[in-house]
């Protein structure tokens, strides 16, 4: 899977013979929204200004199914996901570039889904919209229909049992903030803590102050020090499978393939029969 692209390269590619389809996936996890307050409106932000030619994609409605027993952002229905991507202009023979407001989580979720379902050329704009130095377009222009038909891969995806097994046989990274991993705080899900055997690897440590990814060798050194040695099977989870996609992207930048546990902690912790570990150690 391809990984990231700079704003200058996107600007150059956009004037080339096969310009990329650009998707705006602005979204943010809001603790206020989780408590019932209005959520961030990515569609309104998109209408106020977006990269020229970009089409808005709604993470909650088009990149996930409704929350429930499989977590807060379970996999979308593949037929509905494919239809949404075609509406956004996604075609198999045309590159795709995805961006969000700068955090990178939502863009990484779109990157992972498209790559996992067979698109050969998807990249995330490193640094998101704040890195773009060109003009912005307003309004909601129509997109030409694409032809992309999702074909999910046989690998790259973990369920709860697979994540538990990988924590024992390989390395399972927990991409959430350290206090949630340790069980000291849990602002959203039923209980804090982590999957037994999982290693704390907060995703915000994969980027610099400007929101751009660290250099590939720095990321590789970080993940290797946490247990992702060559030949080790790697998986990632977070709260609901969104920031974990960003960590899978960081691992891809580092040249380390990793699977995603989409249900993540929101699914795992919803079942009181599943074991929960607390504290700074994996076990």
Spatial strand order of the sheet with 21-24 comes to 4-5, 122-125, 96-99, 21-24, 55-56
CA distances to 10, 112, 166, 185 from 264, in Å: 32, 15, 13, 17
Pairing of strands 259-261, 234-237: parallel
- Catalytic site residue from 90, 160, 238, 244: 238
**Mean pLDDT on 120-144:** 93
2 pLDDT above the threshold of 90:
no
Domain with CATH 3.40.250.10 in the chain: 4-131, 157-268
Structure tokens belonging to residue 104: 């990178």
Strand ranges, E, within 42-135: 55-56, 96-99, 122-125
Residue 212 CA, distance from chain mean position: 15
CA-angle at 62, arms to 235 and 159, nearest 5°: 25
Q: Report whether pLDDT(227) > 90.
A: yes
CATH architecture of structural domain 4-131 = 3-Layer(aba) Sandwich (3.40)
Residue 72: burial class (beta carbons within 10 Å; 0-12, 13-18, 19+)? buried
Going from the C-alpha of 108 to that of each of 45, 195, 225, the distances in angstroms are 19, 23, 23
Q: Are 155 and 128 in contact (CB under 8 A)?
A: no
Output the pLDDT for position 33. Answer: 45
pLDDT tens for each residue of 234-257: 999 999 999 999 999 999 999 999
- Asked about 216 being catalytic, the answer comes back as no
* CATH level 3 topology of 157-268: Oxidized Rhodanese; domain 1 (3.40.250)
Is residue 17's pLDDT more than 80? yes
Q: Confidence class of residue 41 from pLDDT cuts 50, 70 and 90?
A: confident
pTM: 0.95
pLDDT band at 140 (very low <50, low <70, confident <90, very high): confident
- Name the percent of the chain lying above pLDDT 90: 90
In contact, 20 and 10? CB cutoff 8 Å: yes
The overall average pLDDT reported for the chain is 94
Alpha-carbon dihedral sign for residues 97, 101, 104, 108: negative
**Encoded tokens for 53:** 């030619």
């Amino acid at each position: 899977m391809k990984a990231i692209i700079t704003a200058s390269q996107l600007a150059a590619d956009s004037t080339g013979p096969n310009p990329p389809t650009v998707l705006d996936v602005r979204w943010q996890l809001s603790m206020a929204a989780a408590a019932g307050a209005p959520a961030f409106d990515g569609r309104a932000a998109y209408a106020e200004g977006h990269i020229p030619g970009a089409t808005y994609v709604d993470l909650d409605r088009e990149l996930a199914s409704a929350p429930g027993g499989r977590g807060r952002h379970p996999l979308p229905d593949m037929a509905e996901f494919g239809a949404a991507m075609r509406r956004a202009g996604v075609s198999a023979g045309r590159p795709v570039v995805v961006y969000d407001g700068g955090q990178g989580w939502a863009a990484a979720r779109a990157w992972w889904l498209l790559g996992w379902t067979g698109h050969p050329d998807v990249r995330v704009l490193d640094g998101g919209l704040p890195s773009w130095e060109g003009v912005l377009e307003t309004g909601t222009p129509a997109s030409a229909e694409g032809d992309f038909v999702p074909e999910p891969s046989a690998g790259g995806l973990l369920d709860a049992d697979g994540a538990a097994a990988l924590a024992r046989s390989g390395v399972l990274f927990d991409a959430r903030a350290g206090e949630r991993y340790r069980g000291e705080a849990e602002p959203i899900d039923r209980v804090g803590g982590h999957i037994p055997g999982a290693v704390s690897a907060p995703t915000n440590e994969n980027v610099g102050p400007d929101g751009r990814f660290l250099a590939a060798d720095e990321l590789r050194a970080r993940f290797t020090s946490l247990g992702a040695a060559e030949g080790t099977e790697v998986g990632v989870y977070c709260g609901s499978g969104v920031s974990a996609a960003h960590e899978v992207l960081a691992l891809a930048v580092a040249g380390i393939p990793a699977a995603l546990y989409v249900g993540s902690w929101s699914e795992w912790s919803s079942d009181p029969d599943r074991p929960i570990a607390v504290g700074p150690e994996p076990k």
